[in-house]
Structure formats: C-alpha cells, structure tokens
Homo-oligomer: A and B are copies of this chain.
Amino acid sequence: MKVDGKDIRPIWLDEDLKTVKVIDQRRLPHEFVVADLETVDDIITAIKEMYVRGAPLIGVTAAYGVYLAALNAPDNYGETDYLIKECRRLKAARPTAVNLAWAADRVLSAVLNIENDAERLKAARREADAIAEAEAENCRNIGLHGLPLIEEIYRKKGNTTVNLLTHCNAGWLACIEYGTATAPIYTAFDKGLDVHVWVDETRPLNQGARLTAWELGKHGIKHTVITDNAGGHLMQHGMVDMVIVGTDRSTYTGDVANKIGTYLKALAAKDNNIPFYVALPSSTFDWQLRDGIKQIPIEERDPDEVRYVQGLNQGSTISVLVPPANSPAADFAFDVTPARLVTGFITERGVCKATEQDVRRLFPEK
C-alpha cells in the first residue's frame, strides 16, 4: 500500500536474503521505523512485543521465522529435530492467533522431507513468500466480496456517506495488502463511494487510534477516532451503517475471537439492527474448535499495557502512567463474540453466514 507515495508492505525479505524487515508498529503513528530481524529470537520478540500484530501478519512473520531458522541452522541439521523445535518455539510466542501455528507448520511441512540443506533453505523461502502473496491475494478478494455489502447500503441511503465502524486494526498493517476488515472499505473508496470510518481507539494498545487512523489517513479516507465506549451511542442514533472487524481466530461454527471489546460492539450492533461483519482469510478459521467462548485461549498480557499509555509529547514518543501507581490492573487481550451476534463472514471465497453449515459450504474441503 502507499505511504507518502511509496509502495510498502508491513514485512519483506531484504535483498541480502538474510534479514526480515518489518515496520515496527509500536512506534506508529508518530515515528516510522523499520526493524531488522535476523534470528528466530528476533522473530519471537517481534511477535511477542508486537512490532508486528494482526493474525495474517503474525502468520507471515512466523513463516519467515522458520526460514530464518533454516538459514541459521547448524550444518547437517536435517537429521535432527532442530527445525521442529524452532517451529515449536515460534508457535508459543502468542496463544490466540491461529495463523501463527498454521503458517509455521505450513513452512515446516514443506521442507521437512528435503535432504539437502541448501534446497531446504530455498524451499522455506519459497513457501514463506507464497504465504505472503496468498495473504495479499486473500485480502484483495475479501475487498471484492465485501464491496457489494457497502454498495447496497450506499444505494439504499441515496448515494450519501456510508458510516462504517471498526475495532482495532485489521488493515494492511495487520496483513500484507488491503487488510481484512478494511479491504472492503479501501475497495469501496477506490471505486468512488463516499465512506467514513468510525475508528475505535482500541485500548489498551490503541491499535485503532495509532494504526487504523494512520492507514486510513495515508489513503485519504475520511475517519474519526472515537473511544471504545462511544460505539453504542452512535449506533443508537443511526450514525453507524455497518460494523466490520477482523479476527484472530474464528471457529468453523461461527464464534469470533478478536481484540478485547469486539463482543461489546457486536451486542450493540444486534441491539440496534446494524449488520456486524467479520472479515477473514480462511487461514484464520480454526477447524478443530466448536465452542469459541469455552475453548479459545485468551491471552493475558502485561498489566502495564493498561496502566501506561504511549503517545507523543514534545516530539518524542513516551509513556504516561494513568492510574495510581499502586493500583493493580489486568490486561485481557481478546474476547469471543458468539456466532449468534455475527451477521456474516467476508472471506476470500465470498460472504457466508456465521454458521457451521454455511462456512462448510464455502470451504467444503475442510
């Protein structure tokens, strides 16, 4: 996507084929910094500390992690379970995103049976590249399949502004191109539809205020940053036409794990008869779990993410402590929205209801 006129992705392999480059998203929007990742440990740090975040991007980063493991492996490691162990370490970096394990395992299984170290390395790179390209293509298709939903509202409103609400960042920064939740919005905008996005700031890490607002602004899309508390009020008063969010893991039965607070927006959308869509590539479906609320592990992160807020002060990005220094805090990173509150999934193959039957109709091979 374009940043100040230059094409960029949130992750790429450097020309030296030794360095994975990522936009350090912790520093956005006030600083644009590219970080160099050269080892599996670097990759794990980048995932844990959230240089990179968002289900598809976490997957691609883990895929390149397996490539770096192969690159930095001891000689003749093919006979050992070195790669399997490194892959296991990568998969433990964050518990909720299902793409992490999916992508790492995909690269691993593409190379495990190759005997020659150099060939194995080349195959790992090819597979990681292929995952990245496939995610970009998935997002492009999510945009195309989501577009008619926005067009229909636009038409019904007599070609006046369509107001969308999104939570967290499921934009191109979380993916490779277009984003998931944002793909239909970018596609509608590029087609000339008048769209405006309510951007939930998305506490505690403010991915909405920091990343989604930055992305949309760079693309020239009208948007307004709001507190996570505001969406219900806006929906009550007809100021939201549609909610679109991403997901870190969705069960094939329709339950949606996404950034903490998504469930509250889904409840408000239901209460006000507003369509609530979840956009995702099929790699984000969990084909094992039936009951998202009971079975999807919810990551608890460092409470200091709640206690401290990062922002710009006098030209520097710094953190401030909000509550009393001795007040405890808790940081639940995700919640699960039950299928009954989800109007539909927007996938790379089309739109379906959040039901086992309809998901399986689109993905019969699973």
> A residues touching B (Cβ–Cβ < 8 Å)?
29-30, 199, 201-204, 206, 209-210, 213-214, 217, 223-234, 236-237, 259-261, 263-265, 267-268, 271, 293, 298, 306-313, 318-332, 334-336
Q: Which 5 A-B pairs have the closest CB atoms?
A: A229-B261, A311-B320, A233-B335, A209-B323, A213-B327
A263 near B201 (CB under 8 angstroms)? no
Task: Given contact pairs A204-B227, A224-B328, A309-B322, enumerate 16 new A-B contacts (beta carbons under 8 Å).
Answer: A29-B324, A199-B327, A201-B306, A203-B228, A214-B324, A217-B324, A224-B329, A227-B331, A228-B229, A229-B259, A229-B335, A236-B293, A264-B265, A264-B268, A311-B321, A320-B320
20 contacts between A and B (CB under 8 A): A30-B321, A30-B324, A199-B327, A210-B322, A213-B323, A214-B323, A225-B306, A225-B327, A225-B329, A228-B261, A229-B335, A231-B264, A233-B263, A233-B335, A267-B267, A308-B311, A310-B320, A310-B322, A311-B320, A313-B313
Give the contacting residue for A229; candidates B237, B264, B311, B327; CB below 8 A: B264
With both chains docked as a complex, state the minimum distance between the C-beta of A323 and any C-beta of chain B, in angstroms: 4
A141 to B128, CA, bound (A): 66
Given A213-B327, A225-B307, A228-B229, the answer on whether A322 and B260 have CB atoms closer than 8 Å is no
Which residues from chain B contact A298 at a C-beta distance below 8 Å?
Answer: 233
Determine the residue in chain B with the shortest Cβ distance to A203.
Answer: B227
Which residues from chain B contact A313 at a C-beta distance below 8 Å?
Answer: 313, 318-321
Q: Specify how many copies of this chain sit in the oligomer.
A: 2
Which residues from chain B contact A331 at a C-beta distance below 8 Å?
Answer: 227
Which residues from chain B contact A227 at a C-beta distance below 8 Å?
Answer: 203-204, 228, 260-261, 306, 331
Give the contacting residue for A29; candidates B30, B204, B224, B323; CB below 8 A: B323
Which residues from chain B contact A332 at a C-beta distance below 8 Å?
Answer: 226, 230, 233-234
With both chains docked as a complex, state the minimum distance between the C-beta of A329 and any C-beta of chain B, in angstroms: 4
A319 to B260, CA, bound (A): 25
Which residues from chain B contact A323 at a C-beta distance below 8 Å?
Answer: 29, 199, 201, 206, 209-210, 213-214, 225
Give the contacting residue for A260; candidates B229, B265, B336; CB below 8 A: B229
With both chains docked as a complex, state the minimum distance between the C-beta of A246 and any C-beta of chain B, in angstroms: 15
Task: Name the residue in A29, A201, A209, A322 with the highest tally of chain B Cβ atoms < 10 Å from its Cβ.
Answer: A322
Which residues from chain B contact A330 at a C-beta distance below 8 Å?
Answer: 224-226, 230
With both chains docked as a complex, state the minimum distance between the C-beta of A322 and any C-beta of chain B, in angstroms: 4
B260 near A233 (CB under 8 angstroms)? yes
Which residues from chain B contact A234 at a C-beta distance below 8 Å?
Answer: 332
Given A328-B223, A329-B225, the answer on whether A232 and B214 have CB atoms closer than 8 Å is no
Which residues from chain B contact A306 at a C-beta distance below 8 Å?
Answer: 201, 225-227
Which residues from chain B contact A206 at a C-beta distance below 8 Å?
Answer: 322-323
Which residues from chain B contact A30 at a C-beta distance below 8 Å?
Answer: 321, 324
Which residues from chain B contact A293 at a C-beta distance below 8 Å?
Answer: 236-237
A210 to B217, CA, bound (A): 31
Determine the residue in chain B with the shortest Cβ distance to A214.
Answer: B324
A217 near B327 (CB under 8 angstroms)? yes
A237 to B338, CA, bound (A): 13
Which residues from chain B contact A201 at a C-beta distance below 8 Å?
Answer: 203, 306, 322-323
Determine the residue in chain B with the shortest Cβ distance to A310.
Answer: B320
Determine the residue in chain B with the shortest Cβ distance to A209.
Answer: B323
